[in-house]
Amino acid sequence: MTTPLRLGIAGLGTVGIGVVKIVRQKAKLLEARTGRPVVITAVSARSRDKDRGVVLSDYAWEDDPVALAQRDDVDVFVELMGGHDGTTKAAIEAAIAAGKDVVTANKALLAHHGQALAEAAEAKGCVIRYEAAVAGGIPVIKALTEGLAGNEITRVMGVMNGTCNYILTRMQDAKLPYDEVFAEADALGYLEADPNLDVGGIDAGHKLAILASIAFGTQVAFDRVQLEGIQRISIDDIRQAKDMGYRIKLLGVAQMTGRGLEQRMTPCLVPADSPLGQLKGGTNMVVIEGDAVEQVVLRGPGAGEGPTASAVVGDICDVARGLRLPTFGVPAKDLKEPQQAYSNSPAPYYLRMSLLDRPGALAKIATILGETGISIDRMRQGKHVGNEAPVLIVTHKTQQSALREAVEMMQKTGVLAAEPVALRIESV
């Protein structure tokens, strides 16, 4: 097959330009690997005049990505604009309606509209590929959908937001408080325009929802991901966790249980000597557990021009080579709506609170834990500072619902100076 594969690239930011560079500079290599020339025919971006450091004059220009998606000389619509509604969605829909294959790095789009887009694409015989949407340069979609296709997946976990992991490891290494490191990350340009996408766990939650769909053959259900950000993690939490042999990570976990699908993206304690515990800085890690393979761990850069472009071009090569799979591994019409597990599987919890200096305060807390059926593994009260004393509790395995009930009861006693921080201790 020597017909060229013709790309239309929409979005010429860091990643888009990274893809243009690879396709230009490695034309021979890509042709050798895919058996056909891979060429760019047209591009689209907001501003035509901006100097992007690469020659774009060889390609047709479209101001409107929808028009790009519909061009007769485009086989694959490469969407690198971002945004999950408006023009981006319209352009992808137009591409599919015109029978084009789609390659995208857009996790928000797939998390919100994955099911509808997959159904539309499959009805038209088009493929949607999105390796770059999850964990940047790590070929995790491929590993899960293809390499591990012989497995019943039992659990997928991951640290999939490099900015959060940077903040948490920097807090630990430099012994700096959250606000200071957040400001640093902001100054370094690590944060999204809306930082809550990062530190609120939303971006990572999108990725988890996509992985869960492939892993369990269910429809993407981002709205059912239990989300909690890292904003309330203090330097104290990090130190306490470290003292006990743990690290705090914004960890995504998806697992199918008898009660339904658990999906959570929350700060957790993980053993310091586990691969997840050892992960530092902006690096991502995904752990896949299957009944046959046991456990596979994938680690790599979660963002950046090169790694993200690497994943996009990997997808383009797949299309060039003729690999045609349903978007989420099985036909979209066969994906089941996941039954949400409203209670998570039991786990030990880390509980930090600030106790007011009143007689019997600690006894009240302990009594509430007893009444809610939560048994205590360790408890430690620190020195009073002013009118408050820090109290740290590690529970034995308990239901999250029981813990929530206990925390609510504690807050009503009037002996707490602030809302407690409760973190799951995940066995990895």
- Contact with its own copies (CB under 8 A) among 75, 119, 131, 237: 131
* Residue environment code for 340-354, b if the CB has 16+ CB neighbours within 10 A, otherwise e: ebeebbbbbbbbbbb
How distant, in Å, are the alpha carbons of 345, 358, 390, 393 from that of 247? 21, 32, 20, 16
Closer to its own copies at the Cβ: 302 or 420? 302
Structure tokens at 195: 């930082």
Binding residues among 274-313 for its own copies as defined by CB under 8 A: 275, 278, 290-301, 304, 306-307, 309-313
β 5-10/76-79 pair status = parallel
Under the binding rule (CB under 8 A), the answer on residue 181 touching its own copies is no
Under the binding rule (CB under 8 A), the answer on residue 148 touching its own copies is yes
In angstroms, what is the minimal distance from the CB of 162 to its own copies? 12
Q: Per-residue DSSP letters for 156-186?
A: EEEE--HHHHHHHHHHHHHT--HHHHHHHHH
Under the binding rule (CB under 8 A), the answer on residue 272 touching its own copies is no
In angstroms, what is the minimal distance from the CB of 58 to its own copies? 19
Residue type, 195: P
How many helical (H) and strand (E) elements, i.e. helices and strands, does the chain have?
A: 14, 16
The length of the chain in residues reads 428
Under the binding rule (CB under 8 A), the answer on residue 325 touching its own copies is yes
- Contact with its own copies (CB under 8 A) among 24, 27, 33, 373: 33
Under the binding rule (CB under 8 A), the answer on residue 22 touching its own copies is yes
- Contact with its own copies (CB under 8 A) among 15, 30, 127, 133: 30
Q: Give the binding-site size for its own copies (rule: CB under 8 A).
A: 60
Helix axes 305-321, 27-34, angle to 10 degrees: 40
Closer to its own copies at the Cβ: 182 or 216? 216
Which residues are paired to 271 by β-bridges? 246
Kindly indicate which of the ranges 82-90, 134-142, 198-206, 239-247 contains the residues binding its own copies, using the contact rule CB under 8 A. 134-142
Which residues are paired to 9 by β-bridges? 43, 78
SS3 content of the chain, % helix, strand, coil (to 5): 40, 25, 35
- Contact with its own copies (CB under 8 A) among 37, 177, 314, 348: 314
Pick the catalytic residue from 100, 142, 207, 249.
207
d(CA 240, CA 159): 21
In angstroms, what is the minimal distance from the CB of 362 to its own copies? 39
In angstroms, what is the minimal distance from the CB of 140 to its own copies? 9
**CB atoms closer than 10 angstroms to residue 245:** 11
Among this protein's residues, is 207 annotated catalytic?
A: yes
Under the binding rule (CB under 8 A), the answer on residue 318 touching its own copies is yes
Under the binding rule (CB under 8 A), the answer on residue 323 touching its own copies is yes
Binding residues among 205-224 for its own copies as defined by CB under 8 A: 217
In angstroms, what is the minimal distance from the CB of 278 to its own copies? 6
Closest CA to 265 of 157, 193, 181: 157
Burial class (CB in 10 A: 0-12, 13-18, 19+), 101: buried
Kindly indicate which of the ranges 88-96, 136-144, 175-183, 261-269 contains the residues binding its own copies, using the contact rule CB under 8 A. 136-144
Structure tokens at 21: 């560079």
Under the binding rule (CB under 8 A), the answer on residue 34 touching its own copies is yes
| Sheet with 5-10: strands ordered across | 60-62, 38-44, 5-10, 76-79, 101-104, 128-129
Binding map of its own copies across residues 79-118, x = CB under 8 A, - = no contact: ----------------------------------------
Which spans of this chain sit near its own copies (rule: CB under 8 A)?
18, 22, 26, 29-30, 32-35, 131, 137-139, 142-143, 146-152, 217, 273, 275, 278, 290-301, 304, 306-307, 309-314, 316-318, 321-326, 329-331, 334
Active-site positions read 207
